Structure formats: structure tokens, C-alpha cells
Amino acid sequence: MRMLINSPQTVVADALRGMAAAHPELDVDVERRVVVRRDAKAGGRVGVVSGGGSGHEPLHAGFVGYGMLSAACPGEVFTSPVPDQMVRAAAAVDCGQGVLFVVKNYTGDVLNFEMAAELAEEDGLRIERVLVDDDVAVTDSLFTAGRRGTGATLFVEKIAGAAAEEGAPLDRVAALARRVDECSRSFGVALSACTTPAKGSPTFDLPDGELELGIGIHGEPGRERRPMMSAREIAEVAVGAALEELAQIGPADGPVLALVNGMGATPLLELYGFHAEVARVLTERGVPVARALVGNYVTSLDMAGCSVTLCRADEELLRLWDAPVRTAALRWGL
Amino acid sequence: MRMLINSPQTVVADALRGMAAAHPELDVDVERRVVVRRDAKAGGRVGVVSGGGSGHEPLHAGFVGYGMLSAACPGEVFTSPVPDQMVRAAAAVDCGQGVLFVVKNYTGDVLNFEMAAELAEEDGLRIERVLVDDDVAVTDSLFTAGRRGTGATLFVEKIAGAAAEEGAPLDRVAALARRVDECSRSFGVALSACTTPAKGSPTFDLPDGELELGIGIHGEPGRERRPMMSAREIAEVAVGAALEELAQIGPADGPVLALVNGMGATPLLELYGFHAEVARVLTERGVPVARALVGNYVTSLDMAGCSVTLCRADEELLRLWDAPVRTAALRWGL
């Protein structure tokens, strides 16, 4: 085990203690596992709450703050948080304007957020849910019916959070979030497996010199395994797959937001080199890139690899993307 | 090779093409390997230029922008840039107010920046240099006479850049940069070796279940190899070593800036857990943490591990640390 931890049992609690120490602007409940923006109730805004298994940091807690999430609920590593966390988060941020739950499409998350929504509604809160399901690699997978939710989660959380920050009502924030999901597609590649603290050894076997095309963010199987490819070739496959599925929602009608996302252990040097190839493929196919983000945002512990997420963004989505944000992991305009 | 690259020969050029595509606010000369803030000449400010071997991203090019570096010169992986790059960068940013070179203490960098300073001065530029040598693990190493330059580089570049942005003259920017270096100490730990694109296999042998205390950012040997330790134990050693050397410059007289830095392949989940232990040790030893930064900033390709950098920061340094910054990798207050 090459891990910087105290014990597999305390990984999530230890990380939350570290977040609390590093980010005094966050209210971190280590025991109950809820991370809340301290001023969540101050603005009278719609709340935006997300959560999911740990191991994908900075997603989600790193996106809590001005202009993005109101609160996040981290589960155990690669394990859904429980409804009690979500209900607590909703109550901590609700100002009477209602709360949007941003849910990545994994069966555990979907069921738990559904139960949480029912419980919160019984408490008198208005809840909307948006399902993020952008990963085109496979339909139905180890933990999912339908497409998996991956990199587009960042786009949904940023744009819904910006709308909420501006004072948009719940139905409008939810509609924008759904539009972002509908306009976003992702494709990921693993160059190595990841190792969970509990298991202590790689979650699957990927021999050196091979890669897995269409990997999920927990190491779920993808489309196929191949001998190692160049960054150029991987970009062709990943961008091609995302564009092909985007074409099914209608003809291209404008620029995209592009996220070149590291899975955790791939150096930023390589991610930028990969982005050069992604940008080249998009240019060759006549797709303008309005904004690009390159880095480790929706990770899979220590997996080597990357994903590409493209979102067809009209002027409204671009304006909300550009709006100020101030979180641990994403900041601009403030 | 588990690398997302086209070829070992094109890694740096490909990354620069990607930076150019992702960051239109940067003027990236891919061929000559200089990254310049587009508005470098607009403000009539002192220039702040750094550079070094690639493989430590986001250092240095990720720190080019408002309130930090005016320009950066990336060398080949783990190889100093050449004087011609540095002279070109200085000329690209000089407004007649002079330029500060921020130089990590590795023999190649020191010699090349020295030669570049002479050449630039022959061209009529005023040049000051600051040497960053914060790593307490070893004196003299594979590539270094004296202490190595590591995490404190971020502190020096941020604070010198903030002073330059405010319009401070060259001697003042240089004096502040030297003060930050003198007040900063670092200690790093490797849980795995890193793999350079050229070599294609780990640069040294670190068996699973062992760690190297006092590692350098190129994998240079540290103080000792030990069986795997807990995050708690590593924090005791790393913080203890940094504080011990800080004590030699005088009694503790205030709070510290703390950087908990990932070497590249250690998940952010673990880095935050480690930061909890770092914060705990500092609290136990009576050292207040004024500001903390947790993430991958001064990396070593795909090495697993971390470093701790502490900087004794008075009110002036804290004010400059808090000043607005807008770069690819560090942003706040704007």
C-alpha cells in the first residue's frame, strides 16, 4: 500500500478534518459528513446540494462555496452517502426557496437521494433532482442503469450554482441543470487501475502497456482494452465518441465547454499535452471551444488516465459558466 | 509505460501547445519555450521570471499571470532551461523597472540563470536573482550544493509577484523574495518513485511497503528509507524537521503559511487527511497556521507522496499572500 493515510477506516473522516482545518469558510461536520458553505442561509437563495462516494476529490466538497454548491455529502470511498446526510445538508441550506439535488447516475446514489428527497419533502422542503448521466462509454454498468455520471457533474454544479447565486427560482435552476446534463457527453480512459484504501490492491488488473477505453470513475469496465495508444489516438477516440452522441441530440449549433480531466495520477504535464490533441480534434471537426478547463477535478483515487467532457453551451450557459465562483477547487472572477 | 503522451521527445512542446489552447490570456511560445503573461508590459511593473525543469507542473508556467509570475521558462523534463529562454523571457516582460529571476537551487538552474542574468545585463536590463533553498532533508544532493529548492518556490513567486503587481521597485521585490526564502523550510516524502518519459521506468527503486523520507522533487535520495508509516507519523517527522530548521533562524514569533503539497499521484482525499495531521502537529507545538494551501503544486511527475512547506509570515508577507492572484493554477481575490 502506497497510501498516505492513518487507516482505511478513517480516510474520509481524516480528509474532512483536513478540509475543516484548511477552509475556515466551510462548515464541516466531520461526524455526520456534511460540508456546508457557512453563508448558505444568508442569501435567501435556492440551495444546490450534491454528494457521492469519496475518492473523486475535489468533487464534490471541493466545489462547495460561492456560486457553486451550497453543501456536499461525502460517502465512504466509492460508496453512496446515506439519505440522512442529504436530508441534513438540505435542511442546513434551505432558505424556503427549495433545494436542488445533483445526483450522479449510480444506483446507490439515485436510490438514496430519492429517499432523501421524500424525507425532506415530508419536512416541508421543496426538492428538485437532476440526474447526471454523461458518460457515453457504456449503457448499463457495474453500478448503473443507463449512462454513468462523470465529468459533466462539474458543469452541472457550476452552472446550477451560478443560477442559484443570481437568485433564480428552483424550477429555473433545475431546468438549467437538466439542460447542461442533456448537452454534455464524456468519455474516459484508464492507463492504470486505482487502489481503494479498504482493498489495498488494484481494483482491477490492467497490465502495463494496455489501456481501457471507456473506463468508469470507479474502474468499472469500459468498451474495450487495447495496447497502449498515443495521446493523439486517445483524443480521436474520446472526442469522437462524445461528439457522436452529442450529434444524436441535434445538429451542432455552437461552441462547447471542454473539460480535460485527470483521473488522479496522470501528471498535469501530460494532461496539457492531451488537451492540445483534444483541441486539435475539435478544431478539425469544426467544433469551436468556447472555454477549456484542464486538471484533476473528477478523479478516481490514484488511477492514471483521463476523461474528456464536452458541453454544448449557448450564450446563457457560457455566461453562467463565466460567473464568479469561489470554492476550494474552482475559483474565478472574485 | 502508463503515459498519456505522443512521444517522450514531444512531451514539453505538446504540453505548451495545450497551455496555449487552454489559456488565451498567456502568450505561449512553443518553439522557444517561454510562457509570458500577455499584459506583462502593460503595467510598468518589475518583472518576475522563473523557470526550471518540466515535470513539476503547475510550477512554473501555471503560476504566470496577474499577481504572480510575469513569465516562465520550462526546460526538458527534470532539466534546466537554457539561458536563451531566460533572456528572452526577461526581454518580453521588462518595462525598464528590472526583472527578478526566481531560481530553485539546482546546479544547472543556478548556472544557467547566472549566465542569463549576465547576458540580460549586457542588453541593458537590471536583473536581481533570488535562490530558493528550502528543503531541509539533505545538504548537498544529486543535483545541488546546499539545500534544494522545492515548495517554498510557490511562496516566493506569489509574494514577489504580489509586490511587483503593487508597483514595488526591484530591490524591494528582491528583498521580499529573499525574506520569504529565508523564512521557509520544507520536507518531502516519497511513497513511490516517478517515471520520466525518456526513461519509461521508475527513476529509482522503492519497494511497496517502504517510503523515502526527505525525497527531492526529482527523486533524489532523502535521509532514510523506512517501512511504511501512517499519515500521523509522517506529519510528525516532516513538520518536526521543518520546525527544527526554522528554529535556527530565531525563536518562533508568529504564525506560518502552510503548504501541504502532493507529489503528483497521491489522491487529494489523502492530502487533506495528511493536512489534518500537519495542522494537529503544528497546533500541539504552539505554531498557529495563518493560511493553508492543500493540493498538487510542486509535483514530481507521477510520484506518490507529499511535502510540507512552512513559511514564517509576518503581517506584510500575509498581506501579500492574500493579495489577488489570477493564474492557471492559483487564483483568488479577483
pLDDT at A29: 98
A6 falls within a domain: no
For residue B14, the distance in angstroms to the closest alpha carbon of chain A comes to 4
A219 shares its domain with A241: yes
Contacts of A5 in chain B (CB under 8 A): 230-231, 270, 273
Interface test with A, best of B64, B269, B287 (most A CBs within 10 A): B269
pLDDT digits (tens, 9 = 90+) for A191-234: 999 999 999 999 888 998 999 999 999 988 889 999 999 999 99
A196 shares its domain with A56: no
Question: Among B158, B182, B206, which residue terminates a domain?
Answer: B182
User: End-to-end distance of chain B based on CA atoms, in angstroms?
Assistant: 40
What would the grid cell of residue A197 be?
484504501
DSSP string, A306-326: EEEEEEE--HHHHHHHHS-EE
Residue A134 · residue A147 · CB < 8 Å: yes
pLDDT digits (tens, 9 = 90+) for B190-238: 999 999 999 999 988 899 899 999 999 998 888 999 999 999 999 999 9
User: Is there a cis peptide before residue A58, judged by omega within 30 degrees of 0?
Assistant: yes
pLDDT digits (tens, 9 = 90+) for A108-137: 999 999 999 999 999 999 999 999 999 999
B150 shares its domain with B195: no
Whether the predicted interface score ipTM is above 0.90: yes
Q: Which of B58, B191, B276 has the CB atom closest to A14's CB atom? A: B276
- pLDDT over 80 (residue A334): no
pLDDT at A237: 98
B171 shares its domain with B199: no
Higher-scoring residue by pLDDT: B138, A99: A99
Dist. CA A155–CA A179, nearest whole Å: 11
Contacts of A196 in chain B (CB under 8 A): none
B206 falls within a domain: yes
Dist. CA A332–CA B333, nearest whole Å: 8
- How confident is residue A253, by pLDDT bands cut at 50, 70 and 90? confident
Q: Is B60 among the catalytic positions?
A: no
B96 falls within a domain: yes
pLDDT digits (tens, 9 = 90+) for B300-312: 999 999 999 999 9
Angle between helix A83-93 and A107-122 (nearest 10): 50
pLDDT at B251: 87
- pLDDT over 80 (residue A274): yes
Angle between helix B152-165 and B315-322 (nearest 10): 80
Cα–Cα distances in angstroms (integers) from residue A23 to residues A188, A334, B318, in the given order: 31, 17, 16
pLDDT digits (tens, 9 = 90+) for A15-24: 999 999 999 9
- pLDDT over 80 (residue A156): yes
- Cα–Cα–Cα angle for A269, A274, A277, nearest 5°? 140
In chain B, the number of structural domains is 2
Dist. CA A154–CA A172, nearest whole Å: 18
Q: Output b/e per residue, B229-266; b: 16+ Cβ within 10 A.
A: bebbebbbbbbebbbebbeeeeeeeebbbbbbbbbbbb
- In chain A, whose CA is at the least distance from the CA of B268? A57
Q: Is B275 among the catalytic positions?
A: no
For residue A263, the distance in angstroms to the closest alpha carbon of chain B comes to 9
B22 shares its domain with B143: yes
B229 falls within a domain: yes
What number of C-beta contacts closer than 8 Å exist between A and B?
Answer: 202
- pLDDT over 80 (residue B257): yes
Is the sign of the CA dihedral B109, B113, B115, B116 positive or negative? Answer: positive
A314 shares its domain with A199: yes
Query: Which residues on adjacent β-strands are paired with residue A308?
Result: A187, A260
B134 falls within a domain: yes
What would the grid cell of residue B48 be?
518576475
Element (H, E) at A49: strand A47-54
What would the grid cell of residue B116 be?
542569463
A330 falls within a domain: no
B156 shares its domain with B83: yes
- In chain B, whose CA is at the least distance from the CA of A212? B2
CATH number, residue A250: 3.30.1180.20
CATH number, residue B19: 3.40.50.10440
pLDDT at B1: 67
- Cα–Cα–Cα angle for A78, A80, A85, nearest 5°? 135
Higher-scoring residue by pLDDT: A334, B148: B148
Cα–Cα distances in angstroms (integers) from residue A180 to residues A133, A165, A269, in the given order: 11, 17, 29
B212 shares its domain with B152: no
- pLDDT over 70 (residue B334): no
- In chain B, whose CA is at the least distance from the CA of A201? B208
Residues belonging to chain A: 334
B20 shares its domain with B160: yes
Print the domain residue range for A239. 184-324
What would the grid cell of residue A300 be?
478516481
Q: Which of A15, A264, A270 has the CB atom closest to B3's CB atom? A: A270
pLDDT at A1: 67
pLDDT digits (tens, 9 = 90+) for A177-196: 999 999 999 999 999 999 99
B153 shares its domain with B234: no
Rounded mean pLDDT, A136-165: 93
DSSP string, A226-295: EE---HHHHHHHHHHHHHHHHHTTSS--S-EEEEEEE-BSS-HHHHHHHHHHHHHHHHHTT--EEEEEEE
Nearest to residue A221, comparing CAs of A206, A209, A208? A206
A252 falls within a domain: yes
- How confident is residue A252, by pLDDT bands cut at 50, 70 and 90? confident
Q: Which of A11, A269, A332 has the CB atom closest to B55's CB atom? A: A269
Dist. CA A78–CA B210, nearest whole Å: 26
Nearest to residue A56, comparing CAs of A177, A164, A188? A188
Dist. CA B36–CA B25, nearest whole Å: 9
User: Percent of chain B having pLDDT more than 90?
Assistant: 92
Phi, psi angle pair for B63, to nearest 5°? -110, 15
- pLDDT over 90 (residue A143): no
pLDDT at A43: 85
- SS3 assignment for chain B: CCCCCCCHHHHHHHHHHHHHHHCCCEEEECCCCEEEECCCCCCCCCEEEEEEEECCCCCCHHHECECCECEEEEEEECCCCCHHHHHHHHHHHCCCCCEEEEEECCHHHHHHHHHHHHHHHHCCCCEEEEEECCECCCCCECCECCCECCCHHHHHHHHHHHHHHCCCCHHHHHHHHHHHHHCEEEEEEECCCCECCCCCCECCCCCCCEEEECCCCCCCCCCEEEECCCHHHHHHHHHHHHHHHHHCCCCCCCCEEEEEEECECCCHHHHHHHHHHHHHHHHHCCCCEEEEEEECCCCCCCECEEEEEEEECCHHHHHHHHCCEECCCCEECC
Q: What is the mean pLDDT of chain A?
A: 96
User: Percent of chain B having pLDDT more than 70?
Assistant: 99
Residue B199 · residue B256 · CB < 8 Å: no
B39 falls within a domain: yes
- pLDDT over 70 (residue B276): yes
Half-sphere exposure of A69 (CA within 13 A, CB side): 33
pLDDT at B138: 85
